[in-house]
């Protein structure tokens, strides 16, 4: 059994103190939730726990004894393992090979594959995962890949498991499987640190919650504290309206989709979105929501159908043409598809448009810079300055940058794919306000989201997809989670035909 304690730790980068005098104690058989807005210091805390960073002040204790954790290997030897949101796996290698990466057993100078196979099967059995250990890792879904990571940590005798937003990309059923594994690990006295932006998960899996705000310790409370109190501790204020609606007035048709079809993905998808309107796109994972958004935007082609923006049919598979017509897309994976992480905030904001000047058609870089600074201030992007690298910012601030580049481009229709995934409660409300600002100023929003309360709370109408088709439409006034889910499973049996 292992007890891990951070005692008054601080971490300083240059002139910025990102974690300031924070203490956390993780006990055996306990799930300790770390809660806070993006940029509150959670990631830095777990990096100190796992040897990626070392504290500049304070110290770390294992079972009451002060220890130094200079690197990840030292953390592993102390029984500390991290399951990162971006999984540390090699898709081309088998499950067995991934389990033994960096620690291949040998016999007479050769890799002992027989030992690898037997131990790999045993490791999967411990967490109840039934898979062929020779199967390539890339053939597994995210949930099962995550289970392999947990199996690997336990195989290395981890007694402290750090789970960094483990449910971010999981379905509801997959979340339940993960929660069952967590409950089993608790019964085996494994201590866990759990990070999540989904407040409903905290009481479900947590025992205690430590709240951080702006790098400082706020409080440690029981996990059954009401959600409103947790939000207040996180943001330092009461959030009275979780889904602000603003003043919306429906105008002319801005987006018309007719008969959009791509074999094996989407079939005969037709709908329209008007100015001043937020239309939600709901459905189960794999229903075709992302495929519809990407086809509309021109990121993917389609076999038949048409997309019309403000009365003009736009060419398919032509992103430049879509942007020129007034379309913008906030993609599902902002880090891979929405941002250039190695570029500055300024460069990312200005990537979709450069302000033209009257000087022989050259870009006005001075005017562009002013526009970028104005946009970053308007969106309240938390950063040291506009030249800071986008990849160094929190998830919520990165998402604001993606919104910001389309704000600078003055898009007519903004397509949103999981707009608040991995974003904390406070930043979510700010993103909802950005959505309201778009529609209040005559724009239109088409929002695909797996977060049903978000879809119900922000949409004026809801389109539900099932197996690549639109299975129904609900007005916001009549929509419920039950009605949405009923439509979401309408065409599922057709995939078996």
pLDDT digits (tens, 9 = 90+) for 18-75: 999 999 999 999 999 999 987 789 999 999 999 999 999 999 999 999 999 999 999 9
Kindly indicate the confidence band of residue 360, based on its pLDDT and cuts at 50, 70 and 90: low
Q: Return d(Cα 88, Cα 80) in angstroms, integer.
A: 15
Q: So what's the pLDDT on residue 494?
A: 58
In contact, 301 and 262? CB cutoff 8 Å: yes
Average pLDDT of the segment spanning 474-495? 85
Comparing 192 with 231, which gets the higher pLDDT?
192
Kindly indicate the confidence band of residue 85, based on its pLDDT and cuts at 50, 70 and 90: confident
Q: Of 132-141, 196-205, 229-238, which range is least confident? A: 229-238
Q: Return d(Cα 122, Cα 86) in angstroms, integer.
A: 25
In contact, 475 and 461? CB cutoff 8 Å: yes
Residue 483 pLDDT > 70: yes
Tokens of 15: 């002139």
Tell me the pLDDT tens digit for each residue of 137-173.
Answer: 999 888 889 999 999 999 989 999 999 989 877 878 8
Tell me the pLDDT tens digit for each residue of 283-340.
Answer: 988 899 999 999 999 999 999 999 999 999 999 999 999 999 999 999 988 888 889 9
Q: Return d(Cα 192, Cα 130) in angstroms, integer.
A: 24
Q: So what's the pLDDT on residue 384?
A: 85
Residue 415 pLDDT > 80: yes
* 308 DSSP β-pair partners: 256, 313
Tokens of 75: 């953390």
CATH 3.40.50.300 residue ranges of the chain are 4-235, 253-496
Q: Which fold has domain 253-496?
A: Rossmann fold (3.40.50)
Q: Return d(Cα 383, Cα 244) in angstroms, integer.
A: 25
Kindly indicate the confidence band of residue 496, based on its pLDDT and cuts at 50, 70 and 90: very low
Alpha carbon dihedral 341, 346, 399, 313, in 10-degree steps, equals: -100
Transcribe 154-211 into DSSP letters: HHTT-SEEEEESTTTT--HHHHHHHHHHHHHHHHTT-EEEEE-S-HHHHHHH-SEEEE
Q: Return d(Cα 301, Cα 296) in angstroms, integer.
A: 9
| pLDDT cut 70: percent of the chain above it | 96
**pTM of this structure:** 0.70
Residue 13 pLDDT > 50: yes
Q: Of 176-185, 351-360, 475-484, which range is least confident? A: 351-360
In this structure, CATH architecture of domain 4-235: 3-Layer(aba) Sandwich (3.40)
Phi, psi (degrees; rounded to nearest 5) at 21 = 55, 55
Kindly indicate the confidence band of residue 361, based on its pLDDT and cuts at 50, 70 and 90: low
Phi, psi (degrees; rounded to nearest 5) at 444 = -135, 150
Average pLDDT of the segment spanning 341-354? 87
Q: Of 102-106, 242-246, 282-286, 312-316, which range is least confident? A: 242-246
Q: Return d(Cα 331, Cα 172) in angstroms, integer.
A: 21
Q: Return d(Cα 120, Cα 100) in angstroms, integer.
A: 8
Residues in the chain: 497
């Amino acid at each position: 059994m292992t007890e891990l304690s951070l005692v008054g730790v601080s971490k300083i980068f240059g002139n910025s103190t990102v974690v300031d005098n924070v203490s956390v104690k993780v006990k055996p058989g306990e799930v300790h939730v770390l809660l806070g807005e993006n940029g509150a210091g959670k990631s830095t805390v777990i990096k100190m726990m796992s040897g990626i960073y070392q504290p500049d002040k304070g110290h770390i204790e294992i079972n009451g004894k002060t220890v130094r954790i200079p690197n990840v290997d030292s953390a592993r030897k102390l029984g500390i393992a991290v399951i990162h949101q971006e999984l540390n796996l090699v898709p081309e290698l088998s499950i067995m090979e991934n389990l033994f990466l960096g620690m291949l057993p040998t016999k007479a100078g050769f890799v002992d594959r027989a030992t690898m196979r037997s131990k790999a099967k045993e490791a999967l059995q411990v967490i109840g995962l039934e898979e062929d250990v020779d199967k390539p890792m890339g053939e597994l879904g995210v949930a099962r890949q995550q289970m392999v990571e947990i199996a690997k940590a336990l195989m290395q005798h981890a007694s402290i498991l750090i789970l960094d937003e483990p449910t971010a990309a999981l379905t509801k059923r997959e979340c339940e499987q993960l929660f069952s594994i967590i409950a089993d690990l608790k019964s085996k006295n494994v201590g866990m640190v759990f990070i999540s932006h989904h407040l409903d998960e905290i009481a479900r899996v947590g025992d205690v919650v430590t709240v951080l705000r702006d790098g400082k310790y706020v409080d440690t409370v029981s996990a059954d504290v009401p959600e409103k109190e947790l939000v207040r501790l996180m943001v330092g204020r009461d959030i009275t309206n979780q889904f602000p609606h603003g003043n919306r007035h429906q105008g002319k048709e801005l987006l018309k989709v007719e008969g959009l079809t791509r074999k094996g993905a989407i079939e005969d998808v037709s709908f329209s979105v008007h100015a001043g309107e937020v239309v939600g796109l709901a459905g189960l994972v794999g229903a075709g929501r992302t495929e519809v958004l990407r086809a509309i935007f021109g990121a993917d082609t389609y076999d038949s159908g048409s997309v019309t923006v403000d009365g003009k049919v736009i060419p398919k598979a032509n992103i430049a043409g879509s942007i020129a017509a007034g379309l913008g897309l906030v993609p599902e994976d902002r880090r891979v598809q929405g941002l250039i992480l190695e570029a500055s905030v300024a460069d990312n904001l200005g990537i979709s448009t450069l302000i033209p000047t009257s000087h022989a058609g050259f870009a006005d870089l001075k005017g562009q810079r002013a526009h970028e600074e104005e946009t970053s201030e308007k969106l309240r992007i938390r950063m040291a300055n506009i030249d800071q690298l986008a990849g160094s910012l929190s998830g919520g601030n990165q998402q604001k940058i993606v919104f910001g580049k389309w704000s600078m481009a003055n898009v007519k229709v903004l397509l949103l794919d999981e707009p608040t995934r991995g974003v904390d409660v406070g930043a979510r409300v700010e993103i909802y306000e950005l959505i309201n600002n778009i529609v209040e100023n005559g724009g239109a929003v088409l929002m695909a989201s797996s977060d049903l309360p978000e879809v119900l709370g922000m949409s004026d109408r809801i389109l539900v997809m099932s197996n690549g088709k639109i299975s129904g439409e609900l007005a916001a006034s009549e929509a419920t989670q039950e009605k949405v889910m009923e439509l979401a499973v309408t065409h599922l049996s057709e995939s078996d035909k």
